[in-house]
Chains A and B, each alone.
Chain A
Amino acid sequence: GAVVSQHPSRVICKSGTSVKIECRSLDFQATTMFWYRQFPKKSLMLMATSNEGSKATYEQGVEKDKFLINHASLTLSTLTVTSAHPEDSSFYICSAQGGGSPYEQYFGPGTRLTVT
């Protein structure tokens, strides 16, 4: 139980275009979802926290107009990278809270974004 999926697993897009990444909790309702960014050989950095039906809370230094987060339902959150640039290339990971353990975050497998 407590499975989180992400789609797509890999995406390549051209500079200036937008790309959407989906995060789904498959077998539980996620009251809160989180989006992280992982740079090569670096730790995960929390980008934003979202609660269903509310605006996302962004961490300091994360551009909310560039990284649009929507948490439309208790099982789906989306991250849209708008006007992507090569420096946005990274590994994006989502997690969801609300499964069996009240405090545990269940992580998705990640999405590798490459902007050319």
Chain B
Amino acid sequence: AQSVTQLDSHVSVSEGTPVLLRCNYSSSYSPSLFWYVQHPNKGLQLLLKYTSAATLVKGINGFEAEFKKSETSFHLTKPSAHMSDAAEYFCVVSNTGFQKLVFGTGTRLLVSP
């Protein structure tokens, strides 16, 4: 069975400061991992994905994540937060074939001026 644990339900940062959203996964085989963002009244948008290539994955809008097998982690980072980054973020693990996505419980990112 696969699962992901998002360690923080809420993260608050100031604009211009770094962002760290934490995710740990559990998988019985090499996982594929994703980060999605959900803005209010908009569909989930893929930020980045890890599919067994480079362990440091760069995504859209300046986000990146590092796959660490020894720590079973896939934390999302961004050097400098923007107000527009305020949203709900989901860490997701997938089976091979990418059909069964297992979502974490989400982390709400709050960005203050």
Contacts and interface: CB of A to CB of B under 8 A. Distances in A.
Contact of B98 (A9, A41, A93, A97): A97
A91 to B, nearest CB: 10
Given A43-B105, A44-B90, A4 B98 contact: no
B44 interface: yes
A104 B105 contact: no
A44 B98 contact: no
B101 A105 contact: yes
B100 A104 contact: no
Contacts of B99: 32, 34, 49, 97
Contact of B41 (A97, A105, A109): A109
A109 B46 CA distance: 13
A59 to B, nearest CB: 9
A49 B103 CA distance: 16
Interface residues of A, number: 23
A107 B37 CA distance: 11
Contacts of A32: 99
A34 to B, nearest CB: 8
B105 A93 contact: no
Nearest to B4: A43
Interface string B98-113: 1111011110000000
Nearest to B32: A103
9 contacts: A34-B99, A41-B9, A42-B105, A43-B104, A95-B44, A97-B98, A104-B46, A105-B101, A107-B36
Interface of B: 9, 32, 36, 41-46, 49, 51, 90, 94, 97-101, 103-106
Interface of A: 4, 9, 32, 34, 41-46, 49, 93, 95, 97, 102-110
